[in-house]
A and B are shown apart, each in its own frame.
Chain A
Amino acid sequence: MADLPFNPWKDYFDIWEKHTARYWDDVLRSPLFLEAIGRNLEMSLAWQRAALNGVEAVQKAWGLPTRSEQEFAQHQLNQLATRMQQLARRMEKLELAEE
Protein backbone atom coordinates (compact mmCIF):
# COMPACT_ATOMS: atom_id res chain seq x y z
CA MET A 1 0.00 0.00 0.00
CA ALA A 2 2.98 2.26 0.70
CA ASP A 3 3.73 3.47 -2.85
CA LEU A 4 0.37 3.13 -4.61
CA PRO A 5 -1.01 6.08 -6.57
CA PHE A 6 -4.08 6.62 -4.41
CA ASN A 7 -1.96 7.09 -1.32
CA PRO A 8 -1.78 10.89 -1.70
CA TRP A 9 -5.60 10.83 -1.38
CA LYS A 10 -5.14 9.27 2.01
CA ASP A 11 -2.94 12.19 3.05
CA TYR A 12 -5.54 14.68 1.77
CA PHE A 13 -8.25 12.75 3.54
CA ASP A 14 -6.29 12.78 6.82
CA ILE A 15 -5.82 16.55 6.61
CA TRP A 16 -9.50 17.10 5.76
CA GLU A 17 -10.64 14.73 8.52
CA LYS A 18 -8.47 16.43 11.14
CA HIS A 19 -9.75 19.89 10.23
CA THR A 20 -13.37 18.76 10.00
CA ALA A 21 -13.17 16.95 13.32
CA ARG A 22 -11.67 20.05 14.96
CA TYR A 23 -14.41 22.24 13.47
CA TRP A 24 -17.14 19.92 14.76
CA ASP A 25 -15.48 19.72 18.14
CA ASP A 26 -15.67 23.53 18.43
CA VAL A 27 -19.31 23.51 17.31
CA LEU A 28 -20.29 20.63 19.58
CA ARG A 29 -18.91 22.28 22.69
CA SER A 30 -20.22 25.79 22.01
CA PRO A 31 -22.85 26.85 24.59
CA LEU A 32 -25.11 28.27 21.89
CA PHE A 33 -25.32 24.96 20.04
CA LEU A 34 -25.67 22.88 23.22
CA GLU A 35 -28.46 25.06 24.60
CA ALA A 36 -30.36 24.81 21.31
CA ILE A 37 -29.94 21.02 21.19
CA GLY A 38 -30.95 20.74 24.86
CA ARG A 39 -34.10 22.81 24.27
CA ASN A 40 -35.05 20.76 21.20
CA LEU A 41 -34.49 17.50 23.01
CA GLU A 42 -36.57 18.65 25.96
CA MET A 43 -39.42 19.74 23.67
CA SER A 44 -39.39 16.51 21.71
CA LEU A 45 -39.38 14.49 24.93
CA ALA A 46 -42.27 16.54 26.30
CA TRP A 47 -44.34 15.67 23.21
CA GLN A 48 -43.48 11.99 23.49
CA ARG A 49 -44.34 12.00 27.20
CA ALA A 50 -47.64 13.71 26.53
CA ALA A 51 -48.49 11.01 23.98
CA LEU A 52 -47.47 8.25 26.43
CA ASN A 53 -49.51 9.82 29.22
CA GLY A 54 -52.51 9.96 26.89
CA VAL A 55 -52.20 6.25 26.09
CA GLU A 56 -51.78 5.40 29.79
CA ALA A 57 -54.86 7.47 30.70
CA VAL A 58 -56.92 5.48 28.18
CA GLN A 59 -55.54 2.18 29.47
CA LYS A 60 -56.36 3.18 33.04
CA ALA A 61 -59.87 4.24 32.05
CA TRP A 62 -60.42 0.76 30.59
CA GLY A 63 -58.98 -0.85 33.71
CA LEU A 64 -55.92 -2.17 31.86
CA PRO A 65 -52.40 -2.16 33.32
CA THR A 66 -50.18 0.56 31.90
CA ARG A 67 -46.74 -0.03 30.40
CA SER A 68 -44.93 1.24 33.49
CA GLU A 69 -47.14 -0.86 35.79
CA GLN A 70 -46.34 -3.98 33.78
CA GLU A 71 -42.64 -3.15 33.82
CA PHE A 72 -42.69 -2.60 37.57
CA ALA A 73 -44.48 -5.90 38.15
CA GLN A 74 -41.89 -7.67 35.99
CA HIS A 75 -39.11 -5.95 37.94
CA GLN A 76 -40.59 -7.13 41.23
CA LEU A 77 -40.83 -10.67 39.86
CA ASN A 78 -37.15 -10.51 38.92
CA GLN A 79 -36.30 -9.35 42.43
CA LEU A 80 -38.31 -12.20 43.90
CA ALA A 81 -36.56 -14.71 41.64
CA THR A 82 -33.17 -13.38 42.76
CA ARG A 83 -34.16 -13.55 46.42
CA MET A 84 -35.36 -17.15 46.04
CA GLN A 85 -32.18 -18.10 44.21
CA GLN A 86 -30.10 -16.62 47.04
CA LEU A 87 -32.12 -18.44 49.67
CA ALA A 88 -31.70 -21.71 47.78
CA ARG A 89 -27.93 -21.16 47.71
CA ARG A 90 -27.87 -20.46 51.45
CA MET A 91 -29.84 -23.61 52.14
CA GLU A 92 -27.47 -25.60 49.97
CA LYS A 93 -24.51 -24.20 51.91
CA LEU A 94 -26.14 -24.98 55.26
CA GLU A 95 -26.91 -28.51 54.15
CA LEU A 96 -23.29 -29.00 53.06
CA ALA A 97 -22.06 -27.59 56.38
CA GLU A 98 -24.31 -30.00 58.30
CA GLU A 99 -22.95 -32.98 56.37
Chain B
Amino acid sequence: MYTLWKQWSDHTFEATLDFWKRSLALGQLKQDDPPDVAQTPADVIYTENKLRLLRYRPTIERRHPIPLLLVPSIINRYYILDLKPGRSLVEYLRERGFDVWMIDWGTPGPEDRFVTFDYHIDGYLLNCVRAVLDATGQKKLSLLGYCIGGVFTTSFAALHGEKYVQNLMALASPLNFHDEGLLSRWARKENFPVDALIDTYGNMPHWLLQTSFKWLRPTTDLRNQWALWERLDHPERLDDFRALNHWATDNVAVPGETYRKFVKDCYQDNLLIQNKMQVGGRAVNLKDICCPFLNITAKYDHICPPQSASVLNELVASQDATLLTLPGGHVGAIVGREATEGLWPQLAEWLAERSDRD
Protein backbone atom coordinates (compact mmCIF):
# COMPACT_ATOMS: atom_id res chain seq x y z
CA MET B 1 0.00 0.00 0.00
CA TYR B 2 2.79 2.34 1.03
CA THR B 3 4.70 1.54 -2.16
CA LEU B 4 1.65 2.36 -4.28
CA TRP B 5 1.09 5.62 -2.41
CA LYS B 6 4.79 6.48 -2.73
CA GLN B 7 4.70 5.78 -6.46
CA TRP B 8 1.58 7.93 -6.90
CA SER B 9 2.95 10.83 -4.84
CA ASP B 10 6.31 10.75 -6.64
CA HIS B 11 4.52 10.71 -9.95
CA THR B 12 2.26 13.61 -9.01
CA PHE B 13 5.19 15.60 -7.66
CA GLU B 14 7.16 14.97 -10.84
CA ALA B 15 4.17 15.98 -13.00
CA THR B 16 3.52 19.14 -11.00
CA LEU B 17 7.18 20.12 -11.13
CA ASP B 18 7.25 19.48 -14.87
CA PHE B 19 4.08 21.55 -15.35
CA TRP B 20 5.53 24.56 -13.50
CA LYS B 21 8.87 24.26 -15.27
CA ARG B 22 7.12 24.34 -18.63
CA SER B 23 4.82 27.19 -17.56
CA LEU B 24 7.84 29.24 -16.49
CA ALA B 25 9.63 28.44 -19.74
CA LEU B 26 6.52 29.46 -21.69
CA GLY B 27 6.31 32.77 -19.81
CA GLN B 28 9.96 33.45 -20.51
CA LEU B 29 9.57 32.49 -24.17
CA LYS B 30 7.01 35.18 -24.91
CA GLN B 31 9.46 37.88 -23.84
CA ASP B 32 12.17 36.48 -26.09
CA ASP B 33 13.16 37.95 -29.42
CA PRO B 34 12.21 36.18 -32.67
CA PRO B 35 14.46 33.19 -33.38
CA ASP B 36 17.67 33.68 -35.34
CA VAL B 37 17.16 32.39 -38.87
CA ALA B 38 19.21 32.49 -42.10
CA GLN B 39 22.54 32.41 -40.26
CA THR B 40 24.84 30.98 -42.94
CA PRO B 41 27.23 33.78 -43.98
CA ALA B 42 26.64 35.00 -47.53
CA ASP B 43 27.55 37.86 -49.84
CA VAL B 44 25.06 39.73 -51.98
CA ILE B 45 26.36 39.43 -55.53
CA TYR B 46 23.49 40.86 -57.53
CA THR B 47 20.39 42.90 -56.76
CA GLU B 48 17.41 43.82 -58.88
CA ASN B 49 14.35 45.63 -57.56
CA LYS B 50 13.68 43.80 -54.23
CA LEU B 51 15.58 40.66 -55.26
CA ARG B 52 18.98 39.72 -53.82
CA LEU B 53 21.25 37.01 -55.16
CA LEU B 54 23.25 35.45 -52.33
CA ARG B 55 26.48 33.49 -52.58
CA TYR B 56 27.33 31.48 -49.48
CA ARG B 57 30.87 31.73 -48.18
CA PRO B 58 32.76 28.44 -48.27
CA THR B 59 33.99 26.72 -45.12
CA ILE B 60 36.11 24.25 -47.07
CA GLU B 61 37.59 24.37 -50.55
CA ARG B 62 34.87 24.27 -53.21
CA ARG B 63 35.20 20.75 -54.59
CA HIS B 64 32.50 20.87 -57.24
CA PRO B 65 33.03 23.46 -59.97
CA ILE B 66 29.41 23.60 -61.18
CA PRO B 67 27.61 26.20 -59.04
CA LEU B 68 24.25 25.40 -57.50
CA LEU B 69 21.48 28.02 -57.55
CA LEU B 70 18.60 27.50 -55.12
CA VAL B 71 15.30 29.07 -56.16
CA PRO B 72 12.78 29.20 -53.30
CA SER B 73 9.07 29.87 -53.45
CA ILE B 74 7.74 33.41 -53.83
CA ILE B 75 4.97 33.06 -51.25
CA ASN B 76 7.31 32.46 -48.29
CA ARG B 77 10.73 33.71 -47.33
CA TYR B 78 13.81 32.15 -48.87
CA TYR B 79 15.33 31.11 -45.55
CA ILE B 80 13.40 27.84 -45.34
CA LEU B 81 16.44 26.40 -47.15
CA ASP B 82 18.73 28.02 -44.57
CA LEU B 83 16.55 27.87 -41.49
CA LYS B 84 19.13 27.78 -38.68
CA PRO B 85 22.50 26.17 -37.97
CA GLY B 86 22.05 22.40 -38.08
CA ARG B 87 18.72 22.76 -39.88
CA SER B 88 20.01 24.25 -43.09
CA LEU B 89 20.22 22.59 -46.49
CA VAL B 90 22.51 25.44 -47.58
CA GLU B 91 24.91 24.79 -44.71
CA TYR B 92 24.91 21.04 -45.42
CA LEU B 93 25.72 21.48 -49.10
CA ARG B 94 28.31 24.16 -48.43
CA GLU B 95 30.12 21.87 -46.01
CA ARG B 96 30.30 19.26 -48.75
CA GLY B 97 32.14 21.54 -51.12
CA PHE B 98 29.31 22.89 -53.26
CA ASP B 99 29.30 26.48 -54.46
CA VAL B 100 25.83 27.42 -53.15
CA TRP B 101 23.83 30.42 -54.35
CA MET B 102 20.28 31.43 -53.47
CA ILE B 103 17.68 33.91 -54.65
CA ASP B 104 15.96 35.99 -51.98
CA TRP B 105 12.90 37.38 -53.79
CA GLY B 106 12.44 40.09 -51.17
CA THR B 107 9.15 41.69 -50.19
CA PRO B 108 7.13 43.07 -53.12
CA GLY B 109 5.77 46.57 -52.74
CA PRO B 110 2.42 47.76 -54.14
CA GLU B 111 4.19 48.87 -57.34
CA ASP B 112 5.34 45.29 -57.99
CA ARG B 113 1.80 44.25 -58.86
CA PHE B 114 2.86 44.77 -62.48
CA VAL B 115 5.78 42.33 -62.32
CA THR B 116 4.71 39.37 -64.42
CA PHE B 117 5.13 35.63 -64.09
CA ASP B 118 7.13 35.70 -67.32
CA TYR B 119 9.53 38.28 -65.89
CA HIS B 120 10.27 35.99 -62.95
CA ILE B 121 11.64 33.47 -65.49
CA ASP B 122 12.94 35.51 -68.43
CA GLY B 123 14.00 38.45 -66.26
CA TYR B 124 14.87 37.80 -62.61
CA LEU B 125 15.90 34.16 -62.97
CA LEU B 126 17.76 34.62 -66.24
CA ASN B 127 19.63 37.64 -64.84
CA CYS B 128 20.56 35.71 -61.70
CA VAL B 129 21.77 32.72 -63.75
CA ARG B 130 23.95 35.05 -65.83
CA ALA B 131 25.30 36.71 -62.68
CA VAL B 132 26.22 33.30 -61.21
CA LEU B 133 27.97 32.20 -64.41
CA ASP B 134 29.78 35.54 -64.74
CA ALA B 135 31.08 35.33 -61.18
CA THR B 136 32.15 31.69 -61.35
CA GLY B 137 33.40 31.57 -64.93
CA GLN B 138 31.39 28.41 -65.53
CA LYS B 139 29.27 27.78 -68.63
CA LYS B 140 26.39 26.04 -66.88
CA LEU B 141 24.92 25.63 -63.40
CA SER B 142 22.71 23.34 -61.38
CA LEU B 143 19.24 24.62 -60.56
CA LEU B 144 17.15 23.56 -57.58
CA GLY B 145 13.61 24.92 -57.29
CA TYR B 146 11.46 24.56 -54.20
CA CYS B 147 7.64 24.69 -54.45
CA ILE B 148 6.67 27.50 -56.85
CA GLY B 149 10.40 28.10 -57.32
CA GLY B 150 10.37 24.66 -58.95
CA VAL B 151 7.73 25.80 -61.41
CA PHE B 152 10.05 28.68 -62.36
CA THR B 153 13.17 26.51 -62.66
CA THR B 154 11.35 23.83 -64.65
CA SER B 155 9.99 26.46 -67.07
CA PHE B 156 13.43 28.05 -67.23
CA ALA B 157 15.09 24.72 -67.99
CA ALA B 158 12.56 24.09 -70.77
CA LEU B 159 13.20 27.52 -72.31
CA HIS B 160 16.91 28.10 -71.65
CA GLY B 161 18.15 24.76 -70.35
CA GLU B 162 20.32 23.84 -73.28
CA LYS B 163 22.38 26.99 -72.85
CA TYR B 164 22.56 27.34 -69.07
CA VAL B 165 21.40 24.29 -67.09
CA GLN B 166 23.70 21.38 -66.23
CA ASN B 167 21.40 19.68 -63.68
CA LEU B 168 17.81 20.32 -62.66
CA MET B 169 16.25 19.47 -59.30
CA ALA B 170 12.62 20.01 -58.37
CA LEU B 171 11.81 19.93 -54.68
CA ALA B 172 8.11 19.52 -53.82
CA SER B 173 7.20 21.40 -56.97
CA PRO B 174 3.66 21.02 -58.28
CA LEU B 175 3.33 20.46 -62.03
CA ASN B 176 -0.03 18.78 -62.45
CA PHE B 177 -2.40 21.20 -60.75
CA HIS B 178 -5.58 19.19 -61.24
CA ASP B 179 -5.09 16.88 -58.30
CA GLU B 180 -7.17 15.91 -55.28
CA GLY B 181 -5.54 18.48 -52.98
CA LEU B 182 -7.56 21.25 -51.32
CA LEU B 183 -5.63 24.03 -53.05
CA SER B 184 -6.56 22.57 -56.41
CA ARG B 185 -10.25 22.52 -55.42
CA TRP B 186 -10.23 26.04 -54.02
CA ALA B 187 -8.51 27.55 -57.05
CA ARG B 188 -11.05 26.32 -59.61
CA LYS B 189 -12.66 28.93 -61.83
CA GLU B 190 -16.11 28.56 -60.34
CA ASN B 191 -14.82 29.02 -56.78
CA PHE B 192 -12.02 31.53 -56.98
CA PRO B 193 -12.46 34.99 -58.56
CA VAL B 194 -8.75 35.64 -59.10
CA ASP B 195 -9.31 38.57 -61.49
CA ALA B 196 -11.55 40.39 -59.01
CA LEU B 197 -9.05 39.72 -56.23
CA ILE B 198 -6.03 41.10 -58.08
CA ASP B 199 -7.96 44.02 -59.57
CA THR B 200 -8.98 44.98 -56.03
CA TYR B 201 -5.83 44.37 -54.00
CA GLY B 202 -3.11 44.76 -56.62
CA ASN B 203 -0.87 42.10 -55.09
CA MET B 204 -2.11 38.87 -53.57
CA PRO B 205 -2.06 39.95 -49.90
CA HIS B 206 0.16 37.96 -47.53
CA TRP B 207 -2.57 37.75 -44.91
CA LEU B 208 -4.92 36.08 -47.37
CA LEU B 209 -2.26 33.55 -48.31
CA GLN B 210 -1.59 32.95 -44.62
CA THR B 211 -5.29 32.44 -43.92
CA SER B 212 -5.75 30.03 -46.80
CA PHE B 213 -2.76 27.95 -45.70
CA LYS B 214 -4.15 27.83 -42.18
CA TRP B 215 -7.47 26.60 -43.56
CA LEU B 216 -5.77 23.68 -45.26
CA ARG B 217 -5.89 22.17 -41.76
CA PRO B 218 -7.83 24.44 -39.41
CA THR B 219 -6.62 22.61 -36.30
CA THR B 220 -2.97 23.38 -37.01
CA ASP B 221 -2.72 26.27 -34.54
CA LEU B 222 -4.01 24.13 -31.69
CA ARG B 223 -1.68 21.33 -32.70
CA ASN B 224 1.21 23.76 -32.74
CA GLN B 225 0.38 24.97 -29.22
CA TRP B 226 0.54 21.40 -27.99
CA ALA B 227 3.76 20.78 -29.90
CA LEU B 228 5.25 23.89 -28.28
CA TRP B 229 4.26 22.68 -24.80
CA GLU B 230 5.90 19.30 -25.46
CA ARG B 231 9.15 20.92 -26.54
CA LEU B 232 9.47 23.40 -23.68
CA ASP B 233 11.90 21.19 -21.75
CA HIS B 234 14.13 20.57 -24.75
CA PRO B 235 15.94 23.76 -25.81
CA GLU B 236 17.21 22.49 -29.15
CA ARG B 237 13.88 21.06 -30.30
CA LEU B 238 12.14 24.18 -29.01
CA ASP B 239 14.47 26.36 -31.02
CA ASP B 240 13.83 24.28 -34.17
CA PHE B 241 10.11 24.54 -33.60
CA ARG B 242 10.18 28.30 -33.08
CA ALA B 243 12.32 28.88 -36.16
CA LEU B 244 10.03 26.78 -38.32
CA ASN B 245 6.91 28.39 -36.89
CA HIS B 246 8.41 31.82 -37.49
CA TRP B 247 9.00 30.94 -41.15
CA ALA B 248 5.53 29.41 -41.55
CA THR B 249 3.88 32.66 -40.45
CA ASP B 250 6.27 34.89 -42.38
CA ASN B 251 4.38 34.96 -45.69
CA VAL B 252 4.94 37.67 -48.26
CA ALA B 253 2.56 39.18 -50.80
CA VAL B 254 2.80 37.83 -54.34
CA PRO B 255 3.02 40.29 -57.24
CA GLY B 256 -0.52 40.56 -58.63
CA GLU B 257 0.12 39.80 -62.30
CA THR B 258 2.38 36.89 -61.40
CA TYR B 259 -0.28 35.43 -59.14
CA ARG B 260 -3.03 35.96 -61.73
CA LYS B 261 -1.14 34.03 -64.40
CA PHE B 262 0.00 31.33 -61.99
CA VAL B 263 -3.57 30.63 -60.82
CA LYS B 264 -5.14 30.85 -64.28
CA ASP B 265 -2.55 28.97 -66.34
CA CYS B 266 -1.50 26.46 -63.73
CA TYR B 267 -4.29 25.84 -61.21
CA GLN B 268 -7.26 26.57 -63.46
CA ASP B 269 -6.19 25.53 -66.97
CA ASN B 270 -3.30 23.21 -66.05
CA LEU B 271 -1.37 24.36 -69.12
CA LEU B 272 2.13 23.52 -67.92
CA ILE B 273 1.88 19.74 -68.18
CA GLN B 274 0.14 20.08 -71.55
CA ASN B 275 3.14 22.05 -72.90
CA LYS B 276 0.76 24.93 -73.66
CA MET B 277 1.91 27.51 -71.15
CA GLN B 278 3.37 30.63 -72.74
CA VAL B 279 6.31 32.46 -71.20
CA GLY B 280 7.67 35.49 -73.01
CA GLY B 281 5.69 34.51 -76.12
CA ARG B 282 7.15 30.99 -76.23
CA ALA B 283 5.48 27.74 -75.26
CA VAL B 284 7.11 25.94 -72.34
CA ASN B 285 7.74 22.47 -73.75
CA LEU B 286 8.79 20.09 -71.01
CA LYS B 287 10.20 17.75 -73.64
CA ASP B 288 12.96 20.33 -74.11
CA ILE B 289 14.37 19.42 -70.70
CA CYS B 290 17.23 17.05 -71.51
CA CYS B 291 19.64 17.59 -68.62
CA PRO B 292 19.97 15.21 -65.63
CA PHE B 293 16.83 15.64 -63.55
CA LEU B 294 16.04 14.84 -59.92
CA ASN B 295 12.44 15.12 -58.81
CA ILE B 296 11.86 15.05 -55.05
CA THR B 297 8.39 14.63 -53.60
CA ALA B 298 7.17 14.23 -50.03
CA LYS B 299 4.73 11.44 -49.22
CA TYR B 300 2.46 13.50 -46.94
CA ASP B 301 2.70 16.81 -48.76
CA HIS B 302 -0.77 18.44 -48.76
CA ILE B 303 0.43 21.56 -50.61
CA CYS B 304 2.10 19.70 -53.45
CA PRO B 305 0.67 16.15 -53.41
CA PRO B 306 3.32 13.65 -54.64
CA GLN B 307 1.34 12.69 -57.75
CA SER B 308 1.18 16.36 -58.72
CA ALA B 309 4.99 16.51 -58.88
CA SER B 310 6.01 12.99 -59.90
CA VAL B 311 4.28 13.30 -63.28
CA LEU B 312 7.17 15.46 -64.48
CA ASN B 313 9.48 12.45 -64.76
CA GLU B 314 7.28 11.12 -67.57
CA LEU B 315 7.18 14.46 -69.37
CA VAL B 316 10.84 15.45 -69.61
CA ALA B 317 13.20 14.08 -72.25
CA SER B 318 16.09 13.55 -69.81
CA GLN B 319 17.74 10.15 -70.08
CA ASP B 320 18.94 10.60 -66.53
CA ALA B 321 15.71 11.27 -64.59
CA THR B 322 15.31 10.17 -60.97
CA LEU B 323 12.23 10.28 -58.77
CA LEU B 324 12.78 10.38 -55.02
CA THR B 325 9.78 10.10 -52.70
CA LEU B 326 10.53 10.86 -49.07
CA PRO B 327 8.51 10.53 -45.89
CA GLY B 328 7.29 13.80 -44.39
CA GLY B 329 5.35 16.83 -45.52
CA HIS B 330 5.97 19.91 -47.65
CA VAL B 331 8.29 21.45 -45.06
CA GLY B 332 9.26 18.54 -42.78
CA ALA B 333 10.89 16.64 -45.63
CA ILE B 334 13.12 19.64 -46.36
CA VAL B 335 14.19 20.84 -42.90
CA GLY B 336 12.78 18.31 -40.43
CA ARG B 337 14.98 16.01 -38.39
CA GLU B 338 14.43 13.27 -40.97
CA ALA B 339 15.91 15.49 -43.71
CA THR B 340 19.43 15.23 -42.25
CA GLU B 341 19.42 11.50 -42.91
CA GLY B 342 17.00 11.44 -45.83
CA LEU B 343 16.86 14.26 -48.29
CA TRP B 344 20.16 16.05 -47.71
CA PRO B 345 22.63 13.15 -48.17
CA GLN B 346 20.69 11.73 -51.12
CA LEU B 347 20.51 15.12 -52.80
CA ALA B 348 24.20 15.83 -52.16
CA GLU B 349 25.22 12.43 -53.50
CA TRP B 350 23.13 12.79 -56.67
CA LEU B 351 24.45 16.28 -57.27
CA ALA B 352 28.11 15.47 -56.50
CA GLU B 353 28.12 12.80 -59.21
CA ARG B 354 26.94 15.40 -61.72
CA SER B 355 28.72 18.57 -60.63
CA ASP B 356 32.27 17.93 -61.67
CA ARG B 357 32.01 18.06 -65.43
CA ASP B 358 31.26 21.14 -67.50
B203 → A minimal CB distance (Å): 10
Check if B11 sits within 8 Å of A5, measured CB to CB: yes
Which positions 13-50 of chain A face chain B at CB distance < 8 Å? 13, 17, 20-21, 24-25, 28-29, 34-35, 37-38, 41-42, 45-46, 48-49
Contact indicator per residue, chain B 187-225, by CB within 8 Å of chain A (1) or not (0)? 010111100110110100000000000010111001100
Check if A21 sits within 8 Å of B219, measured CB to CB: yes
Check if A45 sits within 8 Å of B197, measured CB to CB: yes
Q: Tell me which of B113, B134, B191 has the highest count of chain A C-beta atoms within 10 A of its own C-beta.
A: B191
Check if B226 sits within 8 Å of A75, measured CB to CB: no
Check if A49 sits within 8 Å of B191, measured CB to CB: no
For B110, give its contact among A17, A71, A81 (CB under 8 Å): A71
Check if B15 sits within 8 Å of A5, measured CB to CB: yes
Secondary structure call for the B interface: helix
Check if A78 sits within 8 Å of B200, measured CB to CB: no
Check if A45 sits within 8 Å of B196, measured CB to CB: yes
Residue of A nearest to B50 (CB): A78
Answer yes or no: B122 CB below 8 A from chain A CBs: no
Residues of chain B within 8 A (CB-CB) of A59 are none
How many residues in A have their beta carbons less than 8 Å from beta carbons of B? 38
Q: Tell me which of A3, A5, A13, A49 has the highest count of chain B C-beta atoms within 10 A of its own C-beta.
A: A5
- Distance in angstroms between the alpha carbons of A5 and B15 in the assembled complex: 7
- Distance in angstroms between the alpha carbons of A74 and B218 in the assembled complex: 38
Check if A25 sits within 8 Å of B11, measured CB to CB: no
Check if A78 sits within 8 Å of B193, measured CB to CB: no
Contact indicator per residue, chain A 63-96, by CB within 8 Å of chain B (1) or not (0)? 0000110111011001001100110000001000
Residue of A nearest to B185 (CB): A29
Q: Are A34 and B185 CB-contacts (below 8 A) given A1-B230, A71-B202?
A: yes
Residue of A nearest to B8 (CB): A5
Residues of chain B within 8 A (CB-CB) of A46 are 196
Residue of B nearest to A48 (CB): B200
Check if A49 sits within 8 Å of B196, measured CB to CB: yes
Answer yes or no: A97 CB below 8 A from chain B CBs: no
Answer yes or no: A57 CB below 8 A from chain B CBs: no
Check if A75 sits within 8 Å of B111, measured CB to CB: yes
Check if B219 sits within 8 Å of A17, measured CB to CB: yes
A76 → B minimal CB distance (Å): 9
Check if B193 sits within 8 Å of A38, measured CB to CB: yes
Q: Are A28 and B193 CB-contacts (below 8 A) given A5-B12, A49-B200, A75-B111?
A: no
Answer yes or no: A58 CB below 8 A from chain B CBs: no
Check if B182 sits within 8 Å of A25, measured CB to CB: yes
Q: Are A75 and B115 CB-contacts (below 8 A) given A21-B219, A29-B185?
A: yes
Answer yes or no: B356 CB below 8 A from chain A CBs: no
Answer yes or no: A52 CB below 8 A from chain B CBs: yes
Check if B186 sits within 8 Å of A75, measured CB to CB: no
For A28, give its contact among B110, B127, B182 (CB under 8 Å): B182
- Distance in angstroms between the alpha carbons of A78 and B115 in the assembled complex: 10
Residues of chain B within 8 A (CB-CB) of A10 are 226, 230
Answer yes or no: B49 CB below 8 A from chain A CBs: yes
Answer yes or no: A4 CB below 8 A from chain B CBs: yes
Residues of chain A within 8 A (CB-CB) of B109 are 74
For B218, give its contact among A6, A21, A35 (CB under 8 Å): A21
Residues of chain B within 8 A (CB-CB) of A34 are 185-186, 188, 190-191
- Distance in angstroms between the alpha carbons of A13 and B230 in the assembled complex: 13
Check if B222 sits within 8 Å of A38, measured CB to CB: no
Residues of chain B within 8 A (CB-CB) of A35 are 190-191
Check if A42 sits within 8 Å of B222, measured CB to CB: no
Check if A4 sits within 8 Å of B15, measured CB to CB: yes
Residues of chain A within 8 A (CB-CB) of B202 are 68, 71
Residues of chain A within 8 A (CB-CB) of B215 are 28
Residues of chain A within 8 A (CB-CB) of B112 are 75, 78
Query: Can you sample 13 A-B contacts with CB below 8 Å?
Result: A4-B15, A5-B15, A6-B15, A6-B19, A13-B222, A20-B218, A24-B217, A29-B185, A34-B185, A48-B200, A71-B113, A74-B109, A78-B112
